[in-house]
Structure 1
Amino acid sequence: MNFSVFGTGLMMGLSLIVAIGAQNAFVLRQGLRNEHVFAVCLACGLSDAVLITLGVTSFRHVAALLPWLDPVMRYGGAAFLIWYGAKSLYSAFHSSGALTVQETASSTFRATLVTCLALTWLNPHVYLDTVVLLGTISTRFPGHEVSFAAGAATGSFLFFFSLGYGATWLRPIFSKSASWRILETLIALTMWMISFNLLRAL
């Protein structure tokens, strides 16, 4: 293990993942609701680890062999984000004061996990960050790709668990329904903005 390369991977992974996106918004929301937080953080971290490993090893070769893969990921991801944004906006405008942490209707573990995985695996931006960018950067460290990938994956785990459990400190603010309405609206706008950028790039 080359700890210098590991540290570079860690910093690069954190710098790419910190940007607000669909996946991060969902983790924050689950943390605020204190709902399946560990499973959501673990699923996001493991997904990133798999994608980073894929990028460091073979994805560039796969993309070259399957040129249709990129547009398919973009259309599928955009469609899902538009639906999820509409769902969040509906919640913002039609939910009552029962949106407090204690009173918000809980989602099942299965539904939460499926949504989490969809926001991860159907979002082309996740592939761009983890597979393409980190995979490309790893080529700067021939012979130490494993150390780089391990550092980047560690950064993902640190970020998601910090975001999910750190949301606890924000819970008093979101004990008011107005705060939840604002959050749901921001999530909807974020989803739609990402989907617009995906479609515009086609």
Structure 2
Amino acid sequence: MLVHSLSGLGFGLSLIVAIGAQNMFVLRQGVRREHVGLVVAICAVSDALLISAGVVGTGALLAVMPWLDTAMRWGGAAFLAVYAAMAARRALRPAGASLESGDTGHPGAARAGMAAAAGTALALTWLNPHVYLDTVTLLGSVASGRGEGRWWFGAGAVLASLLWFTALGYGARTLRPLLARPHAWRVLDGVIAAVMLAIAASLVAGAR
């Protein structure tokens, strides 16, 4: 039981601890201290659902429906390209971006900001083909080889996701002093735009 859980924890971290669209968004929200708890919860719960689906065996769906992989790749690439354009616009904006919260104190603005953050977190998770390939297909196939221990393996992977997103979201605030100036924040947005475009290009290149 413990061995399976630790194996799942290690395997889950090996998949999730990488520079990707989802991680970059969580990092950005953490640095800005905007709806961090909501974003972390959405990412962790989404991963838990996807990992559970992989353990159950839903990963076989992609094998019998190859067109679904292509559709997800093109859809994900389109979304990432739009997000990259938004990040590039922030990076090129003369006044730079502020590290202060985007909330104006008006209830409507707070709700709008929360809805936007939640929508982006959901889209970066559920429209990203890499998430399905990693959590559903790859992790699911590894878990299936562990017999009755596959659920403990999956539980370890879920814990890895929760720990990682919590650490990334709430630990990102330690970078705040480094990004106190608008120029530094514009550089980070430029990096985010480049990462998003690179991922989008890789998705298109891999589409069948």
Smaller-chain TM-score bracket: over 0.9
Match among 148, 162, 169 for residue 153 of structure 2: 148
Q: How does 1:41-190 map to 2 (within 5 A)?
A: 41-97=40-96, 99-102=97-100, 105-106=102-103, 108-190=113-195
3-state secondary structure, aligned to 1:56: helix
In structure 1, the partner of 2:107 is: none
Single out whichever of 61-70 and 129-138 deviates more from structure 2. Answer: 61-70
Classify 1:95/1:165 alpha carbon distance in 2 versus 1 (closer, same or farther; 3 Å).
Answer: farther
- The answer to whether the Cα contact below 8 Å between 1:100 and 1:174 also exists between their aligned partners in 2 is no
Classify 1:136/1:171 alpha carbon distance in 2 versus 1 (closer, same or farther; 3 Å).
Answer: same
Deviation for aligned residue 1:141: 0.7
| Letter matched to residue 6 of structure 1 | S
The CA deviation string for residues 103-145 of structure 1, in whole angstroms up to 9 with x for no partner, is x534610111001100011010111111111011112211111
Question: How far, CA to CA, are the matches of 1:140 and 1:149 in structure 2?
Answer: 12
- Stretches of 4+ moved more than 4 A in 1? none
Aligned length: 199
- The answer to whether the Cα contact below 8 Å between 2:60 and 2:137 also exists between their aligned partners in 1 is no
The CA deviation string for residues 148-196 of structure 1, in whole angstroms up to 9 with x for no partner, is 1100010000000000000111111111111110110000000000010
| Letter matched to residue 150 of structure 1 | A
- Where structure 1 has 5 or more consecutive residues not aligned to the other structure, the ranges are none
TM-score by length of 2: 0.92
Deviation for aligned residue 1:95: 4.9
Single out whichever of 124-133 and 63-72 deviates more from structure 2. Answer: 63-72
- The answer to whether the Cα contact below 8 Å between 2:34 and 2:102 also exists between their aligned partners in 1 is no
Q: CA RMSD in A?
A: 1.2
Question: How far, CA to CA, are the matches of 1:178 and 1:36 in structure 2?
Answer: 23
TM-score by length of 1: 0.95
